[in-house]
Structure 1
Amino acid sequence: MAYPEGLLGEDEHVIVHKHPHWKMLVLPVLILFVVVGGGSYLAALAAATGWRMIAWVGLAVVGAVLIIWFTLAPLVRWRTTHFVVTTHRLMVREGVFTRSGIDIPMSRINSVRFRHGLLDRLVGCGTLIVESASDEPLEFDDIPNVEQVHTLLYREVNDDPRDDWDWEER
């Protein structure tokens, strides 16, 4: 899904558009399996009782609340979080009901670093650290292909139009 072009400037183009890495959804999916499995087991135990309908309704309500809170909410949060690098700025947008965002102009970015441990390297993500004119560096966690994003962002920050080689003129 491309970032909405209507939110960009006239001569601004999207270079990178990412959602957080899928690893942040592993725990919510495991919780889904535990809730469904545990609820099914408890429903089977309640089937032999005289109050099984009340137990099934109670299990369904508790299960639905747990699935909505611990699985659907993180999934929607993941889907509505955007990390976007354009030709003019770095943008991060997150939130479902209350949206928040940060825009950093390329001219204000001083340095770009990344960090990823063994698990992050195995699944292909990491933390991008951007130092700008603000007091402390901004860290963006769970960026997929963080090394490639780091390289692209570094190139955009240090891109000097005078350095471009125009093959047609030469």
Structure 2
Amino acid sequence: MKYIDRVLGPNEEIVYETGLHWIIFATPMAVLAIAAFAAADLGARKSTVAGFVFFAFGTVGVIALVKAFIRWATTEIAVTTHRIVLKRGLIARDTIEINFNRIEGLDVKQTVLGRIFDFGTVVVRGTGVGLQPMRDISAPIELRKAAFGDLATSPRVAQR
């Protein structure tokens, strides 16, 4: 059972759910691509340098890919009828739950690449909680719309 489903209060429903964007896998995949090119060169020339590059980039790439997958699989983001909930972490859990009456503003920051691929950082400005950034969020504009009531009357929308 998901964390968000377990912490719902009475008369509280999930309005919108999203998660991390697939872009978090781009850097580990690029590092693994370099390792693959080094492996091809190693097979063709039996170069010691290519062997070192293959081993180093392959090891770093696999570790980064596993970390990105764990981050992607263990992050839950939802807008309910009463609050915004963010849960991240596998062993150590980090949660942010901000009631709507404590939210002063919600900022969306997107780079050009973020606009093209529909991901970005959502910064929740809350009374007494300061700034709470949520990075690499899929469909951040939809999250903002859901938080400010544009989607609040629609059924659960899952975006992952």
TM-score (norm 2): 0.75
Q: Which runs of 5+ in 2 are unaligned?
A: 153-160
Which residue in 2 is equivalent to 1:50? none
Deviation at 1:138, TM superposition (A): 1.8
* Distance in 2 of aligned mates of 1:117 and 1:60: 32
* Distance in 2 of aligned mates of 1:59 and 1:27: 16
Larger radius of gyration: 1
Which residue in 2 is equivalent to 1:32? 32
Q: Which runs of 5+ in 1 are unaligned?
A: 48-55, 160-170
SS in 1 for 2:149: helix
- Is the 1:39–1:63 Cα contact (8 Å) retained in structure 2? no
Tell me the C-alpha RMSD between the 2 structures. 3.1
Name the % identity: 22
Deviation at 1:65, TM superposition (A): 3.5
Aligned pairs, number: 150
* Distance in 1 of aligned mates of 2:123 and 2:67: 26
* Distance in 2 of aligned mates of 1:97 and 1:11: 30
> Judging changes above 3 Å, is the alpha-carbon distance between structure 1 residues 135 and 71 closer, same or farther for their aligned structure 2 residues?
closer
Q: Deviations over 1:131-152 (max 9, x none)?
A: 1112632222222221121111
Deviation at 1:40, TM superposition (A): 4.3
Structure with greater contact order relative to length (CA < 8 Å, sep ≥ 6):
2
- Higher deviation after alignment, 112-121 or 1-10: 1-10
Q: Deviations over 1:83-106 (max 9, x none)?
A: 111112211111222221111112
TM-score (norm 1): 0.71
Higher strand share: 2
> Judging changes above 3 Å, is the alpha-carbon distance between structure 1 residues 102 and 62 closer, same or farther for their aligned structure 2 residues?
same
Query: What is the one-letter code of the residue matched to 1:6?
Result: R
SS in 2 for 1:141: strand
